[in-house]
Amino acid sequence: MSSATAGAPIKCKAMVARGPKQPMVEEEITVMPPQAGEVRVKVIANALCHTDIYTLDGHDPEGLFPCILGHEAGCVVESVGEGVTSVKPGDHVIPCYTPQCCETTCVFCQSPKTNLCPKIRGTQGQGVMPDGTVRFKDKDGKDIFHFMGCSTMSEYTVIAEISCAKINPDAALEKVCLFGCGISTGLGAVWNTCKVETNSTVAVFGLGAVGLSVIQGAKIAGAIKIIAVDVNPKKFEIAKQLGATDCVNPKDIDKPIQQHIAGVMTQWGVDYSFDCTGKTEIMRAALECCHRGWGTSCIIGVAASGHEISTRPFQLVTGRVWKGTAFGGFKSRSQVPVLVERNLRGDLDIDHYITHRFKGVGETNAAVDALHSGDCLRAVVEY
């Protein structure tokens, strides 16, 4: 695969977001060769995540246009830049928006407390590669920005070596691409960020793919009571299949949902709660339904720019803890491959998240429509 194209520009199809609140446009672009420390990959499949839509709809303060969105994908390495040693052409990889440089001087990579490696955070947020330039050109030779260090709504893309999680080639890329964002985030929020114990009680707000993966993770962790909260009761069936013991629609309750959970469904509240909605009023409800003395609430959903959280300080004085998670606390290059292995062994099923499939990069807008429909968990587009 690499011999014919290595070192040369590649022309391919990509979905280009020209501006906020505009449908993406299928265009022929040129993907330049990888530079030092970079990897060019052929994207096999890309799953849509609400973060892509968040940026496309103009809510992302770091959103830059024109850009190529996408960050939840399964890829095959086409060629590598100078100095790249951890992957080679033909390897199967999952691009990860949270890199892992593994350098001994990186206090973040060396700490077991976090996965927030800042090595390329500055340039990634500016829509460029670590050297400050881009690898995408449109048909007129003009630059196209990168997105979250991934830009996988393109048949080929260039990513940093430290963003490549090398995985078992036996795994189906059109399935395990989900480990590139949402599913890992939900599982990790339970296992890494909160470390939910056996016999715990849990409340999950928002039953999209992330919320359902929280439920799945809590069930695996041994939680004995898992309360699923959503205003769409159509989601309750799959929530129960994944481990929810109770389902509640706040619209059916005549009091604030936190009071119902802490006073009716439990005696003192739940041990752990998770917000998977990105809505600040729900974040407050999730905290306030937590157990007096030790309850922990984890924010997973990304709120719109400028929004702030609030609660009475007394909620924290009386023992509750408010925390957040990014990519579920997983260190990408070392731990995503482990998730893939668990899936291959059959003890971490993710098939149920893929509700819609499309063929060809040009079908990405149809996948966006599916994600907006309300009955879509993950739409996967195979290239």
Give catalytic residue positions: 49-51, 71-72, 101, 106, 109, 117, 121, 181, 378
Query: Please, is 19 exposed, middle or buried when counting C-beta atoms within 10 Å of its C-beta (0-12, 13-18, 19+)?
Result: exposed
Q: Residue 374 is encoded by which pair of tokens? A: 């309300």
194-224 burial, b if ≥16 CB within 10 A, otherwise e? bebeeebbbbbbbbbbbbbbbbbbbbbbebe
The DSSP secondary structure of 171-213, one letter per residue, reads S-HHHHGGGGTHHHHHHHIIIIIS-PPTT-EEEEE--SHHHHH
Residues 6 or more apart whose CB falls under 8 angstroms from that of 369 comprise none
The span from the CA of 278 to the CA of 296, in Å, is: 17
End-to-end Cα spacing for the chain: 16
Specify the long-range contacts of residues 132-138, CB closer than 8 Å, at least 24 apart.
135/31, 135/32, 135/33, 135/34, 135/35, 135/38, 135/40, 136/14, 136/29, 136/30, 136/31, 136/32, 136/68, 137/29, 137/30, 137/32, 138/16, 138/27, 138/29, 138/30, 138/66
* Inter-residue contact 351 to 5 (CB < 8 Å): no
Give the number of other Cβ atoms within 10 Å of residue 143's Cβ: 15
Bond from prior residue into 89 cis (ω within 30 degrees of 0): no
CA 255, 259, 264 angle in degrees (round to 5)?
95
Backbone angles phi, psi at 323, to 5 degrees: -140, 175
Give the number of other Cβ atoms within 10 Å of residue 372's Cβ: 11
